[in-house]
Amino acid sequence: MEIAEPTQRQVMKCILLLFFLCLSLHAEVFKVYTEQNPPYNFLENGKVKGQSTLLLEQLFQKSGHQIFDNNIYLLPWTIGYHEVLNKKNTMLYCMARLPEREALFRWVGPIGKMTLGVVAKKSRHMIISTPDALHSYKIATISGTSTEKALLEVGFRAEEFDRFANLSSQLKKLKENRVDAIAFGVEAVWQLLQEMGNDLSEYEVVYVLKESDLYFAFSKETNVKLIAELNETLKTLLK
């Protein structure tokens, strides 16, 4: 009996089937955490959105990996950081890649930049030429962030900070003159101040601490080859 040769369409179907089978065999599911840090990541109508969120979703879609329960958990920074530090198949964004964090995570990026600075009301007339001058003021911070670490690097002690886990609450203190200034990512401060109904012309950046590259940070146990593949895929998305 003569066996018919497969058609081109049948061959293509087989190739596609094998491709998706290989993809599924290598797919990973990650529990994803982030914080309120617009315009990169923020909550809108109950859903996490933002520039970095969209990039992450595109990255996972193109590489075949999945977000656990199709849900991104927006939590205080210290909680998300602790989860990714201690649990497998987790990731946190956006994270500044600092020397003391280098060996703690696997890194995909950079995905953007953030200016770490100190913002105050113009009515405070704060003139800051050196970090030492900041010690005279009550500065609000978010616990465990790269901005806190930048302040520690220039001689601050943790006891000097007015710490809290929620950025909106700290900005409310700034508005009500319960703190003199806030130290955080400048881009996020501007956007949230505006969303809270503040007149941005009443505020100013009184001191820039540093600029930091931002990354997707994966748990340390994540396969090194997978991280390399994600970094290569990311390059195609950022072209």
> Does position 25 have pLDDT exceeding 50, yes or no?
no
What is 114-212's CATH number, 3.40.50.720, 3.60.21.10, 3.40.190.10, 3.40.50.300? 3.40.190.10
Q: Which two tokens stand for residue 96?
A: 């500044």
- The pLDDT confidence band at residue 24, using thresholds 50, 70 and 90, is very low
Closest CA to 161 of 151, 169, 153, 171: 151
172-179: long-range pairs with CB below 8 Å, 24+: 172/196, 173/140, 174/119, 174/120, 174/121, 174/140, 177/121, 179/138, 179/139, 179/140
48 forms beta bridges with 43
> Does position 1 have pLDDT exceeding 60, yes or no?
no
Task: State the DSSP code for 42.
Answer: E
Cα–Cα distance between 218 and 233 in angstroms, integer? 16
- The pLDDT confidence band at residue 14, using thresholds 50, 70 and 90, is low
More confident residue, 219 or 10: 219
Average pLDDT over residues 86-114: 97
What single-letter amino acid sits at 12?
Answer: M
Q: Which two tokens stand for residue 213?
A: 């590259």
Q: What is the mean pLDDT of the chain?
A: 92
Q: Where are the extended beta strands (E) located within 127-226?
A: 139-142, 161-164, 181-185, 203-219
> Does position 5 have pLDDT exceeding 70, yes or no?
no
Average pLDDT over residues 207-230: 97
Give, in order, the Cα–Cα distances in Å from 137 to each of 30, 158, 176, 207, 231.
Answer: 41, 14, 15, 13, 42
Where do the CATH 3.40.190.10 domains begin and end in the chain? Answer: 8-112+214-238, 114-212
**Domain 8-112+214-238 CATH class label:** alpha beta
pTM exceeds 0.85 for this model? no
